[in-house]
Amino acid sequence: MKKLVLAAALTVAAGAAVAGGLAEPIVEGPVIVEAAEGSSSGILLPLLLLVLVGAAVASN
């Protein structure tokens, strides 16, 4: 009976020792935020395409 209790106590102690083992910490990389562009820079390409399409229609 003593051996069974001793074996159970050692098993619990060994399980607790392994469960709290040393592990490498997870380090996340830095967050990179890009600078926002001006609001007018996004409209330049569609306006240029509109002018080109208008010129193509006017030439026909």
DSSP 6: H
Mean pLDDT, the chain, integer? 78
Helix ranges (DSSP H) in the chain = 2-19, 44-59
The pLDDT assigned to 33 comes to 84
DSSP 4: H
Query: Which has more pLDDT, 24 or 18?
Result: 24
Average pLDDT over every residue of 6-13: 76
The pTM of the full predicted model, rounded to 2 decimals, is 0.34
Q: For a pLDDT cut of 70, what percent of the chain falls above it?
A: 73
CA-to-CA distance for 6 and 14, rounded, in angstroms? Answer: 12
CB-side exposure of 4: number of CA atoms within 13 Å? 1
pLDDT digits (tens, 9 = 90+) for 23-42: 787 888 888 888 766 666 67
* 3-class SS of residue 25: coil
